[in-house]
Amino acid sequence: MTETFYEVLRRQGITRRSFLKFCSLTATSLGLGTSAAPTIAHALENKPRTPVLWLHGLECTCCSESFIRSAHPLTKDVVLSMLSLDYDDTLMAAAGHQAEAILDEVKKKYKGNYIVAVEGNPPLNEDGMFCIQGGRPFVEKLRETCADAKAIISWGACASYGCVQAAKPNPTRATPVHKVITGKPIINVPGCPPIAEVMTGVVTYMLTFDRIPELDRQGRPKMFYGQRIHDKCYRRGHFDAGQFAEAWDDEGARKGYCLYKMGCKGPTTYNACSSMRWNGGVSWPVQSGHGCIGCSEDGFWDKGSFYDRVTSITPFGAESNADSIGQAAAGTVGAAIAAHAAVTALARARQSNAHGQPEKQGENQ
Amino acid sequence: MLSQQDMLEAERHGKQVRSIYVYEAPVRLWHWINALCMVVLAVTGYFIGKPLPTVPGEAAENFLLGYIRFAHFAAAYIFAVGLVGRVYWAFVGNHHARQIFKLPIFNGQWWSEVFFELRWYLFLEKTPKKYVGHNPMAQLMMFFFFTVLAIGMLFTGFALYSEGAGVGSWQDSLFGWVIPALGGSLQVHNVHRLGMWIMMTFAAIHIYAAIREDIMSRQSLISTMISGWRMFKD
């Protein structure tokens, strides 16, 4: 009835040699070691392909752009074949009623046995009218499609946290997937976009082992989001040494010093950029000389400047940061103490003038 | 603990011995170790958020921020262990050792004395009351700006430390939940830094009030935290 991944790959002209290379590369990138490669190969050779329905809500398609550039699990064609990507508005050939019919078909045929990958998020204001697909709100389509899914993958910062469309004041009430869909395993794969190999890695893991990867407190796969950018940054040595770029064109910037003072969010961002890098390992933001902006963190648009470390917080509506609030408080209290001390001294002096013996005041009570 | 009782006690003692043993040795020792830790933590913490100017030379030959962070973590551990020890002493020590951990909020008399102290600090009362331990206002301030704040700093601090210690470390197991609860690592950094400023502001008030009361209320405060004995000057 359904083909296995291997059959599809061979049909598409992928050699067995390339297939096995892919298996060992995937095993290594999942942190399983090369001994897991035969397991992956076996799974891909024998298991029927799990259909993946890829939905697009409010988003910019950067996740898809990233995904189709995945370098290590072979080429984009292979990745797409491997996935059995049965529905994807932006990539599929079908359109209109034909396309929408596939959703129903997969839902019936593979009930409880397909994966929904969500790129973007549903806006909830005005009954979801800010994102209409096929004549109805995206949130309805999302709920229906997820109802019979085995698991849900939230691609990117949009689906995981809300991203820019959920930034204050969030006029459309764009809401992350896990706050709309409950009762299903949801894997958050944040980033704007996530790294291509992270995306294919998550999918490959799920197809190979038939279970979702181990997740952390925020629902992210531990294998890719277990450490901060900072922990694996090749400029970390300069951080510990106390060597920083203090301007974009200074000596420190030329020497490749730590970008902490330029507002790098590496120490507060969980992602795999510093170990896996981007575009097939060519480079990544810090390597190109710009600090991390923390795109895989919850609400990163609302956390102040990308170029400060002690960033803005808005406790009373006014833009401020911990240091300016703290210094203002300390300054005010310092001045108050000085004034209080002065008044105390004055009152004491007046008392001693009046009575001659201020020491005896307490005794009379 | 109440002023009337304390005043009677103080006056009775004042006529005879003129001094009362208030702070036991562990409390005094903790106070000064804690004060030292706070100074180290505030200074190093400030420079972790806003590092010193770049040091010259090779990265391999320098470890400036590394040492600053080490000092911060070492002082933080001493601060944490000290606070745990202090909580223990609140159970086994004298009743003055419990003052900064629990407030008699259902006691009307206590509240009226809080307001009396407020009036005293606003120059609306001519003569101060004497207390063997903290005065009610001081106790209220100590509770919120030291005890509660210090626990908050411990939780946020260990949560931040867990990021380096890694997933599965005990710091992560015990305090890792603080990070998503406060909305992310950057928020926790900001809150922790704001906490430092509040703590330092309170420290300034604490020191000022101690010196002022030492002079104005005719009883010893600063030497009491060294010797343990509260001296009443008249």
Mean pLDDT of B143-165: 95
Q: Residue A222 and residue B167: Cβ atoms within 8 Å? A: yes
Q: Residue B212 and residue A341: Cβ atoms within 8 Å? A: yes
A39 vs B: CB within 8 A = no
Q: What pLDDT score was predicted for residue A11?
A: 80
A349 vs B: CB within 8 A = no
Q: Model confidence at B13, in pLDDT bands (50, 70, 90)?
A: low
Out of B54, B121, B186, the one facing A297 most closely (by C-beta) is B186
Residue of A nearest to B62 (CA): A241
pLDDT tens-digit map of A127-176: 999 999 888 999 999 999 999 999 999 999 999 999 999 998 999 999 99
- Is a pLDDT exceeding 50 seen at residue A358? no
Query: DSSP assignment, residue A42?
Result: H
- Is a pLDDT exceeding 60 seen at residue A76? no
Ramachandran angles phi, psi of A264, nearest 5°: -55, 130
Q: Residue B128 and residue A238: Cβ atoms within 8 Å? A: no
A306 to chain B, closest Cα gap in Å: 12
What string of DSSP letters covers chain B? --HHHHHHHHHHHHHHTSEEE-S-HHHHHHHHHHHHHHHHHHHHHHHHHSPPSPPPS-GGG--HHHHHHHHHHHHHHHHHHHHHHHHHHHHHS-GGGGTTT---TT-HHHHHHHHHHHHHHTT--SS----SS--HHHHHHIIIIIIIHHHHHHHHHHHHHHHHH-TTSHHHHHHTTHHHHTTSHHHHHHHHHHHHHHHHHHHHHHHHHHHHHHHHSSB-STTHHHHSEEEB--
A240 vs B: CB within 8 A = yes
Ramachandran angles phi, psi of B101, nearest 5°: -105, -20
Q: Which of B65, B161, B162 to mutate to test the interface with A (most CBs of A within 10 A)?
A: B65
Residue of A nearest to B177 (CA): A217
Q: Model confidence at B102, in pLDDT bands (50, 70, 90)?
A: confident
In percent, the amount of chain A with pLDDT more than 70 equals 91
- Is a pLDDT exceeding 60 seen at residue A104? yes
A261 vs B: CB within 8 A = yes
Q: Residue B208 and residue A337: Cβ atoms within 8 Å? A: yes
Arithmetic mean of pLDDT over chain A: 86
- Is a pLDDT exceeding 90 seen at residue B128? no
Arithmetic mean of pLDDT over chain B: 89
pLDDT tens-digit map of A263-288: 999 999 999 999 999 988 899 999 99
B47 to chain A, closest Cα gap in Å: 10
A321 vs B: CB within 8 A = yes
- Is a pLDDT exceeding 70 seen at residue A87? yes
Q: What pLDDT score was predicted for residue A362?
A: 40
Chain A positions touching B121 (Cβ under 8 A) are 340
State the amino acid at position A145 in one-letter form: T
Q: Model confidence at A74, in pLDDT bands (50, 70, 90)?
A: low
Q: Model confidence at A344, in pLDDT bands (50, 70, 90)?
A: confident
Mean pLDDT of B206-228: 86
- Is a pLDDT exceeding 70 seen at residue A227? yes
A325 vs B: CB within 8 A = yes
Query: According to the per-residue pLDDT averaged within each range, which of A44-48, A287-291, B6-10 is highest?
Result: A287-291
A294 vs B: CB within 8 A = yes
Q: Would you tell me how many other CB atoms lie within 10 Å of the CB of residue B105?
A: 10
Question: pTM of the predicted model, to two decimals?
Answer: 0.84
Out of A242, A325, A347, the one facing B64 most closely (by C-beta) is A242
Core vs surface per residue B63-81: b (16+ CB within 10 A) or e: bbbeebbebbeebbebbbe
Written as six digits, the tokens of A255 are: 């020497």
Q: Model confidence at B74, in pLDDT bands (50, 70, 90)?
A: very high
